[in-house]
Amino acid sequence: MTRSPYFQSCALFACALLAAYFLKNPYYVGVLVFLGINVIITIGLSLLMGYAGQISLGQAGFFGIGAYTTGILTVKAHLPLYASFPAAILLTVGVAFVVGIPTLRLKGHYLAMATLGLGEIVHIVFNEFIRLTGGPSGFGNIPPVRFFGFELDTDFKYFVFVWAVAAFILFFSLNIINSRIGRALKAVHKDERTAATIGINTSRLKLVIFVLGAGYASIAGFLYAHYVTFLSPGSFGLGFSVLLVTMVAVGGMDSIWGALIGTAVLTILPEYLRFFKDYDILIYGGILMAIMLLRPEGLYSIKIRIKRRAEA
């Protein structure tokens, strides 16, 4: 990866535009909007898993807090988007900060279970705070995105908007990886104790990345809420958290590009598995198991291997 972050994020944006240009069908453009939203979350998760070496099985919870905050503020309090957007991010980041301090002291399986428990608690709150969230049936009529008198009223306009945000997030994240923080993260991932000995504040660093990932998820939640204009707890459960983690793992945890590939594969694959109706879950589980057994480093490692062979 010698190319500049600027070049890489522009390339991502260009690829998405090309894809949308060739897929004129609005349904597929809709799929690409969801892909962009998922990409924003998994870039954050990839920083956490691949670079900081931590796992979060509660990412759907942060995604949900972002979506519900902006939804409730715009529908029930009639606030404008430029107020609900920062509110959604601030609330999510605040929650992530508060729960992150005790959670990130845990390791491995315990961290996984604790984040999973937190995500489920958020999910139960969405179901039970009926006056605010509408309970299991959810609530609708969330206004579309509009700024400077320009409304994102078609799928294509929204698509361009989402991917511009995704490209910016990629740019920002690649810059973090190439910075002092990124190098410190790599040291923590290699060996936490050694990293601590050379003066890296490992717990603060992990917390920063955890909170950053939650912030990305809340941005994705904002984009999701104003695209589908309807929210119900079903979209923010354990299933989605697990799906996000597997996207990163299937693509390859060692690189952000791995996360992008994994997200693309697992977002688009179900569209083809529709053919199998309800049995897609079986095939999906099988693919996941096969990749973890045969290519535990993820799909992206295949590309690295080919490149190495070409260089040799």
Partner 1 sequence: MNLAVQLFQLALSGITIGSIYAMVAIGFNIIYNSTGILNFAQGEFVMLGGMLCVFLHNSLKLPLLPSGVLSVAAVSVIGLLFERLAIHPLRNPSVITLIIITIAASILIKGAAMFIWGKETFVLPSFSGDEPLRLSGATLLPQTLWILGFLALVVTLLTLFFRLTMVGKAMKACSYNRTAAQIVGINVSGMVLLSFTLSALIGGVAGVIVTPMTLVSYDRGSLLGLKGFGTAVCGGLGDMGGAVAAGLIIGLLESFTAGLLSSGYKDAVALVILVMILYFRPAGIFQKRDERRLVGS
Q: Which residues bind partner 1 (CB under 8 A)?
A: 49, 55, 102-103, 105-110, 112-114, 116-118, 120-121, 124-125, 127-128, 192-193, 238, 242, 245-246, 249, 253, 278-279, 281-286, 288-289, 292-293, 296
For 34-60, b/e burial (b = at least 16 CB within 10 A) is bbbbbbbbbbbbbbbbbbbbbbbbbbb
Q: How far is the CB of 61 from partner 1 (least distance, A)?
A: 12
Secondary structure of residue 265 in the 3-state scheme: helix
Q: How far is the CB of 121 from partner 1 (least distance, A)?
A: 5
Q: How far apart are CA 140 and CA 137, in angstroms?
A: 10
Number of residues assigned to the chain: 312
Partners of 150 in the β-ladder: 147
**Amino acid (1-letter code) at residue 133:** T
Choose between 116 and 225: whose C-beta lies nearer to partner 1. 116
Residue 95 or residue 162: which is nearer to partner 1 going by CB? 95
What is the C-alpha to C-alpha distance for residues 185 and 46, in angstroms, rounded to an integer?
Answer: 12
Q: What stretch of H or E contains 283?
A: helix 280-294
Q: How far is the CB of 103 from partner 1 (least distance, A)?
A: 8
Residue 29 near residue 154, CB atoms below 8 Å: no
Q: How far is the CB of 257 from partner 1 (least distance, A)?
A: 18
Closest CB to partner 1 among residues 80, 286: 286
Side-chain-side CA neighbours of residue 15 (13 Å)? 14
Residue 82 or 275: which CB sits closer to partner 1? 275
DSSP designation for 254 = T
- Closest separation in Å from C-beta 310 to partner 1: 27
Identify the three-state secondary structure at position 146: strand
Inter-helix orientation angle 238-251/59-75, to 10°: 130
For partner 1, give the closer residue by CB, 116 or 208: 116
Minimum CB–partner distance for residue 277 and partner 1 (Å): 11
CB of 53 to partner 1, least distance (A): 8
- The residue (of 206 and 226) whose beta carbon lies closer to partner 1 is 206
Buried/exposed code over 141-156 (b: 16+ C-beta within 10 A; e: otherwise): ebbebeeeeeebeebb
Q: Which CB contacts under 8 angstroms, 24+ apart, belong to 292-297?
A: 292/249, 297/252, 297/253, 297/254
If the CB atoms of residues 27 and 272 are measured against partner 1, the closer one turns out to be 272
**In this complex, which beta carbon is closest to partner 1, that of residue 77 or of residue 290?**
290
- At its nearest, how many Å lie between partner 1 and the CB of residue 211? 17
